[in-house]
Structure 1
Amino acid sequence: MAPGGEKVFWSFMFLLAGAAAQTIRYQFGSTCAVRGSTVILPCYFTPLKSFSPEGRQIPLRIVRVRWCKNHPICQGTTPSVYDSNSTAREPRFHYLGNMEAKCTLQIRDIKMEDMGTFRFRMEADNSAGHFTNPTGVTISVADLIKMEIKSSSNKSEVSRGQTVSLQCITSTCTFTHLEVTWRKDGHALPGNGSALQLGPLTAKDSGNYSCALTSNMETQSEPFSLQVEEKEEKEFKLPLAAAVTFGVLLVVTTLILLIFIFKRKRTAAGSPNIMRGEAEMKTDHIYSNVLPPLLEETGSQKQEVEAEEISYASVQFKHSKHSRKAKEESDPTIYSSVASRG
């Protein structure tokens, strides 16, 4: 190989090595946008740090970044929607990246003519560091659409305490980044994302929800009715009612039992008075036979008491105050003879 050809060959190999080390990553390959909305194309890149021509290592530095439309390489004099080296920039296109790793592009108030494929290119202070990812991101633009709301619960009635996510979508195309305005019963809600997180749900979350593109309120969706059922409160009221009923029954039962016990005691206390009154009215002698216990003799012999003994005991009965004196004058003492058999 000629010396000149060898030099070109190695330079080409170094360029291939540099290209292999460089990367540009798009977060998605295609997206859909509604006319008048804002689109964000997330992008990240890794530049070549250095290259080594003829054995010498030379550092590289990114000096220019560009976004082009419908061009495979985006080099030279190719028209750009954004060029860091140009002051004449389209105001609808905003570069949200830097010169080191991020290359995100934002397109505001997107139009029908913005449909196409957008590609990012980075350029270094040496051509060895130039690189374009030809894959790009393809944008399709839809017009005159209505947004729709899709609930994660797949139904409009949900239980208290649950968490629900409402998505603002359209069947015309699939979105990646949207600026959405959410409303509940006609009042704007905070946040501008395509998803609205609600929860833990309470009765206050019940209402009619709608969404629309912030840049085009004509895209507002039909109202989505969300009803939160107070399931937990109902479940709580049932045990409470049962507890109250049980408490009332317990109190009533206790009162009935106490009244019954009180009457029993009152009846039992009145019985001796009745018997005592009957005894006071009798003036006859009361005789009772008392047999003494058997006496034990030495040798385990038993002996009966052979003699009868008569004991007298005086028994006095109290009478009422009015008849007490008359009773004592006529019959003050009542004798009782007690006989014992021998």
Structure 2
Amino acid sequence: MTAAAAVAGGLRAADGLAGRSVHVKVPATSANLGPGFDTLGLALAVYDELDVTVLEQPGLEIEVHGVGEGEVPLDASHLVVRAMAHAFARRGYELPPIRLVAHNAIPHGRGLGSSGAAIVAGVMAASGLLEGAESFTADDLLELATELEGHPDNVAPALFGGLTIAWTTPEGPRHKKLIVHRGVAPLVLVPEHEMSTALARSLQPASVPHEDAVFNVSRSALLVAALIQSPELLLQATEDKLHQSYRAEAMPETDRLIKALRAAGHPAVVSGAGPSILVLASDPSERADAVRLVEESADTAWQALPLAVDFKGATAVPQHR
């Protein structure tokens, strides 16, 4: 049942859920990874954590701590609440009264999948609260999240962890999870300024030269091999001609630093829509060298986050009453 059909037919109350509570944990993600535009994504070990409890009486209570505190809405327009309502509606239920307490660590508007994480958190919370009454397969969760996000490249790694290849079919979005080589040492460089995903996408041309498309097909295939088997190929594998150059004018310092990092041998790419930079280093010493280069070259402050790859993905753990 689609959400529209459920609304048209009238949603039923989700009875018997009062007092249920679930703890949700969702990783940050970096999409594209250079050449894998709208297809490849990587889960990273920075997390938003939420506790969602169904209330006895009507109402909606929201607390936000950490990133977004005092900035994100505290009503039904909150993205986690919208995602929960969407998941409930797809199964024919009204969203019950809830209390949501969020502890956020994923930076907003920096190309680390914060909106995808919020959507995944809502879908996972809904599946956890409805456990026993409804079941959600991996494909169900991906479809629900993609319906709200618009594309699966961020929500797939947030849901399932690791390196994901995501694609769409007439039956809905699909994914393949792969385990990243233990020699890959991600580094995320986060600036103080934000970047609008909508603006970044608006800079993309409607078509690209045939030779650029062929170039990216080869690099995308090579990147999968480099990440799971041959990290020494990461510099060549992260070359891109489809999106980063078109977006460069909107984030000039990101573009300049990526060029400097790559000239020094570091596999640096725009993280998602930017403006953060992802360096797919092959060892911790390479990460340290990249941090020093940025500290010496940047015109503004950048936060360096040496991170692990998250292999687990999102979790929803019921809490006892």
TM bin (shorter chain) = under 0.3
Q: Please give the TM-score of this superposition, normalised by the length of structure 2.
A: 0.22
* Higher Rg: 1
Q: Indicate the structure with greater helix content.
A: 2
TM-score, normalised by the number of residues in structure 1: 0.21
